[in-house]
Each structure stands twice: as structure tokens, then as C-alpha cells.
């Protein structure tokens, strides 16, 4: 790979595998960070390179052109994890945390607000 390119960054990745519609061209650059610090580092790299940044999740409700996307595409579906504090009613979740399972955990903890998920 090119010097100065962060680990885990790939070029010309087909995006059809990352959408429920199974359509879409290539991402110029693509990564699936598993840690928040990795996402921040990749976003910083994109900014320093003057590249547009696109964030995608699990790919539902997402239609990507067959012409693809320029710049860096970050897929956040590996960013999972959550923290509940029942006493304060606080819920923190990573961007890739599946909402249905988070809503069940919140309900089991006696909290409300995610019933729609």
C-alpha cells in the first residue's frame, strides 16, 4: 500500500456488498473501523488528504450510484457496544450498535424511550 496510508484502508472497494439493495459502485477508499479512535484517525487522514468523507451503517435505506463514491467511505457497523446507567436513565451506544438489541436491553433495564427501535 502507499506510504502514509492507515492500516485497514482499502482502495476501489465495491459497495454493493454493503447495502441491502445490493447495488452501488466502488468507493475510492474504504474502511470498517472497529474502534472509535480508529474512526477518528481515518477521518483525520481523509481531511489531511482533502478527500470527501462518507459514513455508512448497515446499508438499509441507502442507495449508492453505480458510479461509486469519491473520497473515503467509512462503514460504522463494526462500532458496537453500549453502556446503560439505570439509576440516571443514561444510555450511550456506539454508532454501529443494532437498535433492536439495544432497545431490548434498555427495556429490560426498566428504561424507556427506544420503544420505536
Beta-bridged to residue 53, according to DSSP, are 72
Given a cut of 70, is residue 117 above it in pLDDT?
Answer: no
Distance separating alpha carbons of residues 96 and 88, to the nearest angstrom: 23
Q: Where are the domains of the chain?
A: 10-75, 80-117
CB-CB neighbours of 29 under 10 Å: 25
Q: What percent of the chain has pLDDT over 70?
A: 96
Fold of the 10-75 domain: 3.30.43
Reply yes or no on whether the pLDDT at 116 is more than 80: no
Which of 4, 3, 24 has the alpha carbon at shortest distance from 14? 24
The cell for 83 is: 453502556
Amino acid at each position: 500500500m502507499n506510504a502514509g496510508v492507515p492500516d485497514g484502508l482499502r482502495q476501489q472497494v465495491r459497495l454493493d456488498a454493503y447495502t441491502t439493495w445490493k447495488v452501488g459502485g466502488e468507493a475510492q477508499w474504504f474502511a470498517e473501523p472497529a474502534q472509535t479512535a480508529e474512526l477518528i484517525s481515518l477521518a483525520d487522514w481523509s481531511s489531511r488528504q482533502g478527500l470527501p468523507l462518507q459514513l455508512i451503517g448497515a446499508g438499509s435505506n441507502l442507495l449508492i450510484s453505480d458510479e461509486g463514491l469519491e473520497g473515503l467511505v467509512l462503514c460504522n457497523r463494526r462500532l458496537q457496544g453500549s453502556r446503560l446507567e439505570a439509576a440516571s436513565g443514561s444510555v450511550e451506544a456506539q454508532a454501529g450498535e443494532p437498535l433492536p438489541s439495544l432497545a431490548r436491553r434498555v427495556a429490560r433495564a426498566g428504561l424507556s424511550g427506544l420503544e420505536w427501535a
